[in-house]
Amino acid sequence: MKFSLAAIAFAAIASAPAAEARGLGRFGEADNFHKIQDLSIPPGLAGEFPADWSKGIELDSHTVTHWLGAGAWLEDKGYAIKIRGGDRYWPVNSRMTKELQDLRILPNPLPKYEIPVMDYVFGYSLWIAIAVLALWYGVVAMLKRKKVEAA
């Protein structure tokens, strides 16, 4: 009986319905992008960039959730240039930032961003589940001890 309660509690937390976590038992890495702003390429420079960029690009913040059944940790990867509505992206390093700012494609200075709270919740959901289970078993143990003392 105790094991089934623990399994239910873990499943309820780990399988919370979010875009980043759709079900129990995910393993590996999941990229998360959050749009900061749309970008445009000056018409004369369009041929110097990947052809995909002509479909429209955006500046995004990029995080990676590492899954071990539930979110074990979250990694901030910084900025990325992403195809609007697509999956392809390019990580933005300092050299690329300087070059794109000189061409007036990226804003100077780059806008600040914050990782959304829900990314943290799902990114560390494994530890949240473990804490809830420990709290649950602690409360159950305390209640059993009080019943024994009362008898």
In the chain, alpha helices (H): 2-14, 94-102, 117-123, 125-150
pTM: 0.73
pLDDT score at 62: 97
Positions in the chain short of pLDDT 50: 1-9, 12-13, 15-21
State the pLDDT at residue 55: 84
Give the pLDDT score at 48: 87
Q: At what angle do helices 125-150 and 2-14 cross, to 10 degrees?
A: 150
State the pLDDT at residue 24. 56
Per-domain residue ranges of the chain: 2-150
